[in-house]
Structure 1
């Protein structure tokens, strides 16, 4: 519910604030925009059944988010989202009465490239925007932290390509500095492969996270 409220709020601001303008001039054709802040990846995961124990559970993680934007026109831009590596605990209900138990860890980098449309004019102090594009996710440093007494070995996660979408809001403080809030959604699917005893196992898993970011930006 909280995720839907955040997204709905940003969309409402986007629709209601397109006419807000001041003498501050920003987001013009040819401008570069660099933003840095806190980015939280909140997986909306689902997977095939794992050895009759149910689905994987993947926890949230927050890292330094970085993005670089370029204004093609006063209203159209492109943006690349990057971040320091996200680290996630992977849990499974082992049926021992203790609920979900952490069994593995994985890290990933999810660079995402989107085309954006900024509402309002170049001299608008408040610039809501929407975007759509493509995500690539590279998984690495995959390891079991609980191998069930040696039953689980050789963990790997395949890389992923998928669609991505965003909605965001820039508030221009002065000619160069701004503050930003944005929400992203990315399609991330991976094949989780490991050995269960001597038997190879492949579990199709969708991560499909929401990404929430608050940041400070610089325009030049």
Structure 2
């Protein structure tokens, strides 16, 4: 409350300016404008990619390739759309990613343990945000509203981690490791359809297919579990490679539309 009161002299003029701008309608829009809120679930299918890893420390000068194949997952998403005109909309979307497990990684995550085959050795989350411009070819009187759209996407991969089996094997050798992914800016496109419950109903059902271009760095590091004595060089290896996540998403949601 104290923070709100502290900034009230700034917020009050700002709110007045925003309300005045909306009332003035600088875009010259006439007639009602629609807002649509959609909430639902989605099925995501990430890309299977061959990743070339190189040594970042420039100490060993080795490189190798690995197949990275995250499993398909389910998640939830929501979006908010503003339709200033009958045929055009601007949509802001967010997809909360479930945890992916990377399979088929035995060639990559061997670390010298020749008698062990590792499967599903890493996991990571991927949250995707999108900003899209959408086009509706039909007029508002149609109960079925197909559309196409495109825009920009941002993927946050959060904090990845090695699975317990690999961490335990590294600990047996006095080692530990970590796995990290960054973030990615890219483009997105989608096509979908709204099914209205009635001409005068505010409720609708939406189905859509979406693609997001998303390329990021995979980084794996292996180092001593405890600091070595001063006269002993620490074991440290760091490898990285570019991975194309590039997921397809298939959405099913319920929406609510209102005008202002």
Alignment TM class, shorter chain as reference: 0.7 to 0.9
Deviations 1:157-214 (A, max 9, x none): 0100001000000111122011110000000111011114521100210010000001
TM-score, normalisation: structure 2? 0.68
Say if 1:152 and 1:194, in contact at 8 Å, map to a contact too: no
Q: Which residue of 1 aligns with 2:148?
A: 130
**1:168-207 alignment runs, 5 A limit:** 168-174=192-198, 175-196=201-222, 198-207=236-245
Q: How many residue pairs get matched? A: 193
Greater Rg over alpha carbons, structure: 2
Partners of 1:152 and 1:34 lie apart in 2 by: 46
Relative contact order, higher structure (CA 8 A, sep 6+): 1
Q: Which residue of 2 aligns with 1:58?
A: 70
Gaps of 5+ in 2: 1-30, 54-62, 108-113, 224-235
Which is strand-richer, 1 or 2? Answer: 1
Q: Which residue of 2 aligns with 1:162?
A: 186
Say if 1:35 and 1:215, in contact at 8 Å, map to a contact too: yes
Partners of 1:129 and 1:103 lie apart in 2 by: 40
- Return the offset for 1:39: 0.9
Partners of 2:186 and 2:121 lie apart in 1 by: 26
Q: Which residue of 1 aligns with 2:60?
A: none
Gaps of 5+ in 1: 1-27
Partners of 2:118 and 2:68 lie apart in 1 by: 9
Aligned alpha-carbon RMSD (Å): 2.3
Q: Cα distance 1:113–1:200, how it changes in 2: closer, same or farther (>3 A)?
A: same
Partners of 1:35 and 1:58 lie apart in 2 by: 27
